[in-house]
Amino acid sequence: MTSYIMTIPVVPNNAIHPVPGPLYARIRDELRVQIVSGNYQPHQKLPSESELISRYEVSRITVRQALGELEKEGLLFKVAGKGMFVSKPKPFQDLARLQGFAEAMSQHGYEVYNRLVGLNFLPVAAELTQRLGLAKGLPVTELRRVRHLNREPVSFDISYLGSHLGERLAKEDLASRDMFLILENQYGIPLGFADLAIDAVLADAETAELLQIAKDTPILRVERLTHGRDGAPLVLEYLYCRTDNFQFRLRINR
């Protein structure tokens, strides 16, 4: 996969009170605030272009430019012959909490399904062995799953863990159960914390096919090394996530 640096857009604080600038940007920012604040509800129709032209006393080109930018951001969608409508918020997982995918999504009432596409035992994996804190020469288990949310693929997850755990997990129902919950509730291994790294990559042919997107589509890659409560590393994961139907969120305190 080809990596490249991605800047995650953040709505600035001053978007609540738009600053002087191009007319289309001021209209865009004002509409964005109304959408984000809930003044316009999901699937609610926005005022027509003519109404916005009259309200802001601008040209049709200016209104269309503002609406076009909000559509690119995923806040609006167009229905031919009917106008612009507010998009339904994307499902999201809070990265500030160490949870399995199904554990996090079930709290919001979403349907979750995991498709197991590979379970392999790697006899020679020096770097993985080192990162997982295993004795040199011990095999590593590779677990490959496609995570589905409401019957649509959202991520392709590749997990590595010691074979002493992998051999047990191979006998579990990994289609409907979270690995984290199995480790804690069934194996009695309490989780402690995880180290994360996030970047953007272009989907290779295999990942694109599994996620049902075009090859070279930009996706998020999350590297997560989860440790037990005793601090020992347990699971190293690479999560390749679509950006059009799923979000990660994080609250950061000063």
- Looking at the predicted structure, is the pLDDT value of residue 4 above 60? no
Query: Where are the chain's structural domains?
Result: 2-86, 92-249
pLDDT tens across 85-135, in order?
A: 988 767 777 777 888 887 777 766 677 889 999 999 888 778 899 999 998
Q: What is the pLDDT of residue 12?
A: 38
CATH number (1.50.10.10, 2.60.40.420, 1.10.10.10, 3.40.50.1100) of 2-86 reads 1.10.10.10
CB atoms under 10 Å from CB of 200, counted, come to 17
Q: In what order do the strands lie in the sheet with 218-228?
A: 2-4, 191-202, 218-228, 233-241, 152-162, 140-149, 112-122
pLDDT band of residue 13 (cuts 50, 70, 90) is very low
Please give the C-alpha separations between residue 90 and each of 41, 149, 245, in angstroms, as whole numbers. Answer: 14, 11, 6
pLDDT tens across 232-244, in order?
A: 999 999 999 998 8
If you classify domain 92-249 with CATH, what class do you get? alpha beta
The pTM score is: 0.68
Show Cβ contacts of residue 105 under 8 Å, excluding neighbours closer than 6 positions.
91, 93, 112, 149
Show Cβ contacts of residue 33 under 8 Å, excluding neighbours closer than 6 positions.
15, 16
- Looking at the predicted structure, is the pLDDT value of residue 18 above 50? no
pLDDT band of residue 1 (cuts 50, 70, 90) is low
pLDDT tens across 144-186, in order?
A: 999 998 888 999 999 999 999 999 999 999 888 889 999 999 9
- Distance (Å, whole) CA 90 – CA 29: 20
Assess contact for 180 and 99: CB atoms under 8 A.
yes
- Looking at the predicted structure, is the pLDDT value of residue 8 above 60? no
Q: What is the pLDDT of residue 21?
A: 66
Q: Do domains 2-86 and 92-249 have the same CATH topology?
A: no
